[in-house]
Amino acid sequence: MPIVHHPFTIDLGPVPITGFGIAVLLAFMIAQIISQQELLRRGYQKEGEAIPDLILACVVGTLVGGKLYYAPIVTQGLVHPVGPGGVSCSGVDSSGR
């Protein structure tokens, strides 16, 4: 039975906002709030104040890393990320090929 995929997308002019993008944004926001509050609660004032910079570096790294993966691999057809049996990892997909 084929899997029918209907992605969630909001089009705001030339910029599409996807459900995955919203989930990643929420993950970074929740990570910042929880880690900063926990560090401050435990008395690590200096470290708690550095969390926004750390989260910003993580967001930039995620965006750059995602583009570095997507551009050469997917657009040039070097590796097809999804094989006939599922998501491919290290050249072996879930069907064992």
Higher-confidence position of 87 and 14:
14
Structure tokens at 87: 């998501």
**Concatenated DSSP letters of 49-82:** HHHHHHHHHHHHHHHHHHHHHIIIIIHTTS--SE
Structure tokens at 1: 């039975």
The 3-state DSSP class for residue 91 equals: coil
41-79 tens-digit pLDDT = 999 999 999 999 999 999 999 989 988 887 777 776 665
